[in-house]
Each structure stands twice: as C-alpha cells, then as structure tokens.
Amino acid sequence: MKKIFLALSASLCLLIANAQTYDNTIKQRTINVNGHSELEITPDEIYVQIELSEYNKKNGDKVDIEIIRNQFLTAVKSMGIADTDVVVQGYAGWDGNYWWYNKNKKKNPDLKAGITYQVKVKTVDDMDKLVDKLDDQATQNFYISNTSHSRIDSIKRELKLQALKNAKDEAASLAAAYGDTVGKALIINDPNESSDYPRPMYKASAMLASDAVNGTAPPMNVDFKKIKIEMNVNVTFELK
C-alpha cells in the first residue's frame, strides 16, 4: 500500500511540474521581428591591373623588360604610392630567372617578356595620373580588377548594430499597437550580410590602355558604382 501511495505521489508531482511548465510556456509572450540596415559607400581602394611587355623601337632595337620595369616602378613611386600597394601578379615569357630567359632568348630572338602588376590607388584622379606616366608602347593592358573600402570591416560592424537597433524599434512599434512593451531579447540570430561590390562601369565602350595612353582614345571617364552593404537580423523579444 505504501508503495502504491509513493507511486501516486510521484505521478502527481510529475503532473504538477508538467502543468507548471506548460503554464509558463503559455505566459511567455514573445514577438519576432527582422531588423535591417544598409549603406552605400564610394570605394577608396581601387585595384588596377597593368600588363607591361618588351617592345621594339622604330630602329628595331628592343627595350628590355628590366628597363620597362624600373621605369614603371619609378613612375609609381613618384606618385607617392607605397611599396606595399604594388605587387607582381604574373610573368609572361620571363619569370625573373635570367638563366631561363637568356636560354630561351637564344632559341627565339623575338621572344618578348612581360610582367603584370597590381597597383592600389585611392581615387580616379590617381588612376588617371598613373595612366599618364605609363610607357605607351610597353603597356599592353590596363583595367580595374576590384574595388573596396579601407574601413569596410568597421562599417560592417556599425551596420550590424544598426540592424539590431532597427529590430528593437520595430518590435516596440508593433507591441505598442497592442498596448504592450518590449522586454529583453530572447533570441538573436547572427546578422546576415548582403554586399554588392560592382565592377566599375565605363561611360564609354571598353577602352584599351594602348589607345588611352597614346591619345587616340578620349580621356578615361569612369563612373564608379558605390559599394552597397546590407545587414539583416532576426530577433525574438519578450512582451510585457
């Protein structure tokens, strides 16, 4: 009998606990909202690809890649561009190995070496100045490979906070319509980022660098699209 009584007591306690849990769930009123923030910024990091190659003068003499390279780096340095903002992207017909180059040069006297640089500039004006300093004949190609912003990481953090604030304001506005107030946040999902880093759009048709630097094409007229960054966050608040 005593065992039966203990079993009944345990069952009763379990039912009471379940009822309390269920009751607390019912009383826990929440509101779920989405927060949003966005910003468009003008890029201040413009990555330019420049392809240089050996060429023959009118008298037939070839201008060596080392001469072209040194002239290019001198021109870049004269603009105040830091060494860390200039990197080699690749070689063509020459990989910096003089033995390999000289050996193949003997087999193919017309072999022309080339080198591709990536240079980071801050403005379109800087890019135009760089074009003016390029060797007309050595420059085989010139184009923008990428754009970014120097404060991109901190801007993203700021937008995350704005999205969270927007979510709270939205929740408070909706809750007020029912005479409620918003309490603490119960669930915060990590903000979802949506970014658009568009390639620069030329107002004119595609431009060849060789035409631009020798004056046969109109001056570069670049319309940079702004970088658009969006943050979306889902938050669940308690209602009071």
Q: What are the pLDDT digits (tens) for 66-92? A: 899 999 999 999 999 999 999 998 877
Please report which confidence band the pLDDT of residue 128 belongs to, taking 50, 70 and 90 as the band edges: confident
Structure tokens at 224: 């940079």
Please report the pLDDT score of residue 123 as a whole number. 87
| Lowest-confidence segment of 51-55, 78-82, 94-98, 221-225 by average pLDDT | 94-98
Q: Tokens representing 146?
A: 């990428």
What's the pLDDT at 164? 96
Mean pLDDT of the chain: 79
- Examine the pLDDT at 218 and tell me if it is beyond 60: no
Position 209 confidence tier, pLDDT thresholds 50, 70, 90 = very low
Minimal CA–CA distance to 43: which of 127, 99, 139? 127
Q: What is the pLDDT of residue 213?
A: 47
The one-letter code for the residue type at 100 is W
pLDDT at 36 over 50: yes
Per-residue pLDDT, 104: 58
Q: Which residues pair with 116 in a beta bridge?
A: 51, 90
The amino acid occupying position 212 is A
Phi and psi based region of residue 17 (left: phi greater than 0; alpha: psi -120 to 50; beta: remaining)? alpha
Using the predicted structure, report yes or no on whether residue 55 has a pLDDT greater than 80.
yes
Which residues, in sequence order, are CB contacts of 36 under 8 Å at separation 6+?
163, 166, 230, 231, 232, 233
Work out the percent of the chain whose per-residue pLDDT is above 90: 46
Helix H or strand E encompassing 82 = none
Its pTM stands at 0.67
Whole-number pLDDT of residue 223: 57
Mean pLDDT to the nearest integer, 50-72: 90
- What domains can be seen in the chain, in order of their start residue? 29-42+150-240 (3.30.110.170), 45-148 (3.30.70)
Mean pLDDT along residues 1-6:
48
